[in-house]
Structure 1
Amino acid sequence: MSELDIRKLLKSVIAYKASDLHLVSGSEPQIRIDGKLIPLNLPKLDGKQIEEMCYGIITDKQKKIFEEEGELDFALMVPNVGRFRVNYYTTLGDIAAAFRIIPLKVPTLEDINAPEIFYQIIKREKGLILVTGPTGSGKSTTLAAMLNEINTHERKHILTIEDPVEFVHENKKSLFSHREVGSDTKSFAIALKYALREDPDIILIGEMRDKETISAALTAAETGHLVLGTLHTNSASQTVNRIIDVFSGDEQPQVRAMLSTSLVAVISQALIPKIGGGRVATFEILINTPAIANLIRENKTHQIYSQMQLNQQQTGMQTQTQVILKLLKNHVISKEDALRYSNRPEELKNLIQAL
């Protein structure tokens, strides 16, 4: 197997409008289309073949990191094909790889059918905007669309810290500094520590993985920066708890106070298969109104969900259940998929029965 073969496989990802390519020993190459894995009609690969293909597209430095750590994340630009986020890992001693397509065209808010409230929250001068959801739910795409909107209309210095850098933005009105963990900086936390000296207006944090990074993000949001970040949580209220729970008991009151003042919004999203092919994004939106801020500060986060359902015309908030119900009524998604992707299936089931 050669580098040419991996290019052919990556071309097939583009041709089939797939999102991912998987190479695992003992299986034929598989691609993910509309969330489902589909084997390509090709011979099964063994570990040696995958190793030859994978080592053919990385540097000696990357090879050394992979052999020492057993994991490697990087971005790959394949001329005339596209850009990919790549992860190498080992399974039962053999190398395996996952390639995720990163569209070369940066999406707009119109492209992702963003609700009107998205346009409002990105005009904030400071604060924390979180986009959450499981892996593959389109978080990076949503954040790229938000930054694209700012880039189109405002003169800002936008600093992105990612592992690896995904969407590469051209400077329109704004100035971008893309920093990749591993090559441009050692870690998210270190990059954030020095970020405030780099005169950014907006900071994008690819992933808020640990206490240090979350703490630095909260500080940056408090000190006059608009901070955008991602978390792997499934609902807006769960996100608030996840941030607070990262800290020890005696630190939590201070973190709740910081979060209650600096949080702008939590957008929790999922991609649900559409009837007839393709996928549709559902956005659960939590806006930090004075009432929500009060619940965070007073450790009453269990009441956030019911608060989200009040005065939605004024606040711009919506729950995932409401969005899913609307899609069901409009025959965009099936009942089975609605329940499968719901983060409150019991509530949804009761509402479907009442229809």
Structure 2
Amino acid sequence: MAEAKPPVLPETMLVASFAAPGGPEVLHPAQMPVPVPGAGDVLIKVAYAGVNRPDCLQRAGAYPPPPGASPLLGLEVAGEVVSIGADVPPEMLGARVAALTPGGGYAEYCAAPWQHCLAVPDAMELKDAAALPETLFTVWHNVFERGLARDGERLLVHGGTSGIGTMAIMLAKAFGMEVIVTCGDEAKCDAARAVGADLAINYREQDFVEAIAAHTGGAGVHVVLDMVSGDYVARNLKCLAEDGRHVTIAMLGGAKAELFMPMVMMRRLTLTGSTLRPRSDAFKAALADEIAANAWPLFTGGELAPVMDRTFPLADAAAAHARMESGAHIGKIVLEVAAE
């Protein structure tokens, strides 16, 4: 049988771009050249692209892409591989994949390292697959690798109905943990409970430190996944059990925190954190392998599914960003680029 030949590709593609940093309204449809995959890359014909908080930060001028990355937004996509680099296994051509990308997802075609791809079975919708890589890679690394979470422990997650929050709830419950989340209103608390949270605290009506102390009988939580930072850090530490781990992945509440270090010492607390995008391709490839072995089968097998908010056409990326920044979303926002 003759080998599959790659399809003839257009020279240009539709993208969502911006000329200068600003609010969601700066995003607009444009035409750009189709990228040429490097030796270790695949070129994906994008069906759907996930929308994430770092996209909004980059659009606002606060999160520049790493050197060599596409200037376009978009850190996760799903679609079909239509071209491969010289060092990519030939069986990747024509494969349905979800990919963690260094950028470039808001486009009809996106290049990504082949080792950052996860296979998408025919029974799995590409829309769901596109909603997974960024949050799955982030939560797996920070909760289970950096946070050393294990079954029987308690996890506290702020922003329980965000893409990260819903992923953290699902994965932690799948691995036998108790999950406590904070949310901004009762509707979101209800949504978090529906996903699997054992306790959802409306932080506008309750002090989460007091609520956690009451719920745990003063024992506290073993891991905090913190997206707020700022003055939340000192409050988070009060929630931690002895030998607890505090993992910061975003700074929505400010970049500086004031800590009472004797508490850290006496209770043997660990403070850590990470950012995923600047990490090396080799690190992300190793992380992809671990996820493929341990977490991805939960989604491909149908045991877990991403919590989906809304889908917007690629040309309406501005509306997608406006929804994310409004805080009204529950779960993942995705862009439809080419319907399945």
TM range (shorter): 0.3 to 0.5
TM-score, scaled to structure 1: 0.34
Structure showing greater radius of gyration is 1
TM-score under structure 2 normalisation? Answer: 0.35
* Structure with higher helix content: 1
Point out which structure has higher relative CO (alpha carbons under 8 A, 6+ apart): 2
